[in-house]
């Protein structure tokens, strides 16, 4: 969906949809409004789960290929139940789990002739980055800059996440960037978890 039409109100609709999807899969039915027309436009998002500010799951889509409504539901369920780094979320964890949704912009390729030139174009705190080399691929959301503010460490960890040595580089490396609009349940005035049960 087009970024110029995104507002805070979108988060107030998307976050309950994500929580409803996760809760329903865990046997606790919570209703969420799904009739906003823009939900049926193609969109790409990441759903991040945290507990006490520690990561509990994060799964997403890099490029829009299905309606945003479907993308949010699918990624919420995957983050809760199928992130290979964590055990599946249990129903008793719902109340202590905070949900964040990052809506991605269209991907933009970086043009460069060296790693130094590539790094010089990255904007810490703003750019999410996709690293690609052959079948190796990884991404960091812009939020990761909070833990890795140094651009060289950011890139080294991005390569390591892809399964390559931190100092790896080759002419065939491709980099793309995107920005996100994000919403956290903890930033809303009313907890999403208090949504009415149906």
Question: How do residues 97-106 score in pLDDT, each as one tens digit?
Answer: 999 999 999 9
- Give the separation between CA 157 and CA 185, rounded to whole angstroms: 28
Class for the domain spanning 108-178 = alpha beta
Give the strands of the sheet with 136-140, arranged side by side. Answer: 108-109, 174-178, 128-133, 136-140
Is residue 133 within 8 A of residue 157, CB to CB? The reply is: no
Assess whether pLDDT exceeds 80 at residue 94.
Answer: yes
Assess whether pLDDT exceeds 50 at residue 69.
Answer: yes
pLDDT at 1: 52
Q: For residues 110-124, give the mean pLDDT.
A: 97
pLDDT at 9: 86
Is residue 51 within 8 A of residue 96, CB to CB? The reply is: yes
pLDDT at 188: 79
- Kindly report the pTM of this predicted structure: 0.88
Query: What CATH number matches the domain at 3-104+181-194, 3.40.50.720, 3.30.700.20, 3.40.50.620, 3.90.1150.10?
Result: 3.30.700.20
Q: What average pLDDT is seen over the chain?
A: 92
Cα–Cα nearest to 17, from 40, 3, 4, 6: 40
Beta strand pairing status for 174-178 and 45-51?
unpaired
Domain boundaries, the chain: 3-104+181-194, 108-178
Assess whether pLDDT exceeds 80 at residue 185.
Answer: yes
Instruction: Record the tokens describing residue 193, joined without a space.
Output: 């978890």
Is residue 56 within 8 A of residue 97, CB to CB? The reply is: yes
pLDDT in tens, 16-57: 999 999 999 999 999 999 999 999 999 999 999 999 999 999
Is residue 186 within 8 A of residue 96, CB to CB? The reply is: no
- Give the separation between CA 142 and CA 139, rounded to whole angstroms: 10
Residues 6+ apart with CB under 8 A from 66: 42, 74
Assess whether pLDDT exceeds 60 at residue 196.
Answer: no
- Give the separation between CA 70 and CA 122, rounded to whole angstroms: 31
pLDDT at 187: 87
Q: For residues 121-136, give the mean pLDDT.
A: 97
pLDDT in tens, 145-172: 999 999 999 999 999 999 999 999 999 9
Cα–Cα nearest to 115, from 82, 148, 83, 154: 154
Across-strand partners of 132? 137, 174
Is residue 10 within 8 A of residue 41, CB to CB? The reply is: no
Assess whether pLDDT exceeds 50 at residue 195.
Answer: no
């Amino acid at each position: 969906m087009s970024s110029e039409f995104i507002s805070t109100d979108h988060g107030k609709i998307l976050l309950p949809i994500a929580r409803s999807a996760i809760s329903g899969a865990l046997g606790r039915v919570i209703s969420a409004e799904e009739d906003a027309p823009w939900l049926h436009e193609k969109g790409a998002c990441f759903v991040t789960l945290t507990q006490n500010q520690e990561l509990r799951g994060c799964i997403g889509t890099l490029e829009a290929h299905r309606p945003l409504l479907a993308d949010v539901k699918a990624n919420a369920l995957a983050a809760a139940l199928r992130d290979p780094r964590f055990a599946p979320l249990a129903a008793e964890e719902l109340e202590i789990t905070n949900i964040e949704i990052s809506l991605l912009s269209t991907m933009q390729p970086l043009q460069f002739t060296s790693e130094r030139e590539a790094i010089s174009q990255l904007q810490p705190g703003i750019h999410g980055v996709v690293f690609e080399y052959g079948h190796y691929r990884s991404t960091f959301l812009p939020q990761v800059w909070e833990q890795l503010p140094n651009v060289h460490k950011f890139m080294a960890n991005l390569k390591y996440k892809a399964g390559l040595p931190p100092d790896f580089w080759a002419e065939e490396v491709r980099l793309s960037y995107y920005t996100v609009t994000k919403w956290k349940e903890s930033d809303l005035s009313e907890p999403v978890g208090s949504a009415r049960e149906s």
